[in-house]
Structure 1
Amino acid sequence: MVSEKGIPPAQRLLDAAVQLFYAEGIHAVGVERLIAEAGVTKATFYRHYRSKDDLVVAYLEHKDTTTRAALLGATAGLEPQQALPALFAAIAAYSCGPGFRGCPFINAASEYPDRTHPVRQAVTAHRTWLRTTLSELLAALDHPEPESTARQLVYLRDGILMAGYLDSPDAVDATARHALLGIVGEHTVHN
C-alpha cells in the first residue's frame, strides 16, 4: 500500500498509479485496486481524477517530467559533441536497470490505439519533446539534417528501450553507441 500519513490523497493515487501501471499494465489495474493501494475512498479518487484515464494522463505526465530531468541531467554542462553520446548512454543504462519493464510511453500507446485519445496525446507530447531536443542538439552540431536525423534517433531510442528489456547491458550499450555513430556520423560526436 502506498498510503502514508502526511501525503495528500492525490499524490498517493499518483504514486500507486506510477507503481502499478508500470509494473502490471494500465488496463490490468482497475480503479478499485488503485483506491486500495492509495488508501483512499472512491469519492476521494473521483474528486481528484474524473476518470481512470485522467489518472493515466497524470501518470504519463509524471513519467515525462522524470524522464526529461534524467536526460537533461545526463547532458548538463556538456558540449553538444559529448551530449549526444551521454544522452544515449543514459538511455541504455536506464533500459538495463533493475525493474525496467519497457518504455512507459510505448507501453501506454500499445494499450490506447486511438491517436486522438488524451493518453496517446500525452505520449505524443513526450516524443515531440524528445525529437525537438535531439534536433536542437544536432543543429548545434551543424548537422545537415537535424530534424530527420532526430526522428531516426527517437527510433533508435525506442529500439534501445526494447533491447534493454530483452538483452544484456553490455550488448545494449555497445550497440547503442555504434548505432548512434552510424546515424549521426563519427565526426559529429565524441565519446
Structure 2
Amino acid sequence: MAARTTSTGASAARERLLQTASELFYREGIHAVGVDRIIAEAGVTRATFYRHFPSKEDLVEAYLGVEDANIRGAFAAAEESGAEPKELVGLVIDGLADDVSRHHTRGCPFINAAAEYPDPASGVRKAVAEHREWFRSELEHVLEAAEADDPEGAAGQLVLLRDAAMVGGYLDGWERVRPSFVAAATRTAGLDR
C-alpha cells in the first residue's frame, strides 16, 4: 500500500491542522476532540484554523478526504504494478489486509465518522457515501478485469468483508482476523478456483 499522506501543495499550518486532527479523530473520536485542542496541538492560531477550515465539519471532511486519497493511491499503485488481472485482485486483497493491520487498527474511519454524523444530508455523510461508492466501483472494475463470475456481487461482498474485518480487527485483534478475511475475500473474488 502507498505511504500515508495528507495533501500536496498545502500550507504547513494547514498540514499540521489536518495531521493533528486526523490522528486525534481516529484515535479518540470526532465529537470527543474539540477545535481548541486541535489548534493547541497543531501549534496554530484560531484565525489560522478558521482561515483553512471555516468549521469543524469542514475539517472532518478534509480528514476523510485524506483517508480517501490514501486508499485511491494504494489502488493506483497496485494497478501500476503491471500485475495480471487475477494477480491484481490478490494484491488488492493483501493490500486491504495490510492497510487494516497498519493504519486502521481502530476500525474504519468512514464507518466511525458515519456513526458520529447520523444525518445523511451532512457533508460528512456525503463524503462517506462518495468514498464507499468509489471503493465498490473500483473493486468491481478490478474483478471484472479478472473475469470474476459476478463482479458487481463480489465487489459488494468484498466491501462488507472489509467493513467486518476492520471492526473485527479492532475488537479481536488483527492477527486473529486477518487469515479469515484473506480466505473469505479470496473465495469471494473467485481466486480459490
Q: TM-score range by the shorter chain?
A: 0.7 to 0.9
Check if 1:28 corresponds to 2:32. Answer: yes
Q: Which runs of 5+ in 1 are unaligned?
A: 1-6
Distance 1:159-1:54 versus aligned 2 partners, 3 A rule: same
Aligned to 2:91: 86
Q: Which moved more, 1:175-184 or 1:17-26?
A: 175-184
Letter in 2 for 1:118: G
Aligned-residue CA RMSD (Å): 2.0
| C-alpha contact (below 8 Å) 1:13/1:45 kept by paired residues | yes
Write out per-residue CA displacement over residues 56-96 of structure 1, whole angstroms, 9 at most, x where no aligned residue.
00010011111221243345321110112221122222222
Deviating beyond 4 angstroms after TM superposition, the runs of 4 or more aligned structure 1 residues are: none
Alpha-carbon distance in 2 for matches of 1:87, 1:175 = 16
Any unmatched runs of 5+ in structure 2? Answer: 1-10
Aligned residue among 51, 54, 65 for 2:69:
65
Structure 2 counterpart of 1:61, which letter?
A: G
Q: Are residues 1:177 and 2:186 paired?
A: no
Deviation at 1:97, TM superposition (A): 2.8
Q: How far did 1:99 drift?
A: 7.2
Q: Percent identity?
A: 47
Deviation of residue 121 (structure 1)? 0.9
The amino acid across from 1:164 in the alignment is: G
Which residue, 107, 111, 116 being the options, matches 1:111? 116
* Cα displacement (A) at 1:55: 0.4
Structure ID, larger Rg = 1
Task: Answer with 46-55 or 74-83: which moved more.
Answer: 74-83
Taking structure 2 as the reference length, what is the TM-score of the superposition? 0.85
Question: In the alignment, what sits opposite 1:4?
Answer: none
Shift of 1:104: 0.9
Match for 1:51: what amino acid?
Answer: S
Give the number of aligned pairs: 182
How far does the alpha carbon of each residue in 1:11-30 deviate from its partner, in whole angstroms, 9 at most, with x for none?
Answer: 21111111111111100000
Residue 160 of structure 1 is aligned with which of 135, 156, 165? 165
TM-score, normalized by length of structure 1? 0.86
2:12 aligns with one of 8, 12, 15? 8
